[in-house]
Amino acid sequence: MTAFVDSTQGNLYVNGSRVGKVRGFSISGEAEPLETTTLDDYVRTYATGRRRYQGSCNLFYYETDQKKVEGSALIGSILKSGNTPSAGKCRLKFEVQNRALEFDAIVTTVETGLSAGGIMMAAINFVVTGQLIDASLGGE
């Protein structure tokens, strides 16, 4: 039986707290090729070097009954008044059904807007710092 993963059920957690629904999520990984060719070789050889991850997501967020904006910690890591430094890394976990990606990240850009009567949305870009903590995407 084939089952489709419904991404409308995706959630985003920041430092363990659910902050909203994820509309779109992408992450890309890259490994540096390190040349291992010796002087006696006639063809180049490589080994896998350092890895790097970066990604983005579109987050729907809302205001709670206590007038607190869910997702404010993530959005406020970049969008803030005054001359305060940006927040450091945060733990992000994207979860859709029984699949998850979890990692420490630094938010690099936030784009959001407000409209009367509309659902609030923010486009978030991030870079992963360190290794992936969980990468249970349904594969091996």
Phi, psi of 136 (to 5 degrees): -90, 85
pTM: 0.74
Q: Is the model more confident about 115 or about 15?
A: 15
Q: Is the model more confident about 38 or about 19?
A: 38
Could you count the other beta carbons within 10 Å of the beta carbon of residue 77?
21
Percent of the chain scoring above 90 in pLDDT: 27
- Structural domains in the chain plus CATH codes: 7-136 (2.40.30)
**What gap in Å lies between CA 126 and CA 27, rounded to an integer?**
9
Query: What pLDDT is stored for residue 43 in this prediction?
Result: 95
122's CB contacts (< 8 A; 6+ apart) are 58, 59, 61, 71, 74, 75, 110, 111, 112
Average per-residue pLDDT in the chain?
78
**Are residues 107 and 124 in contact, defined by beta-carbon separation less than 8 angstroms?**
yes
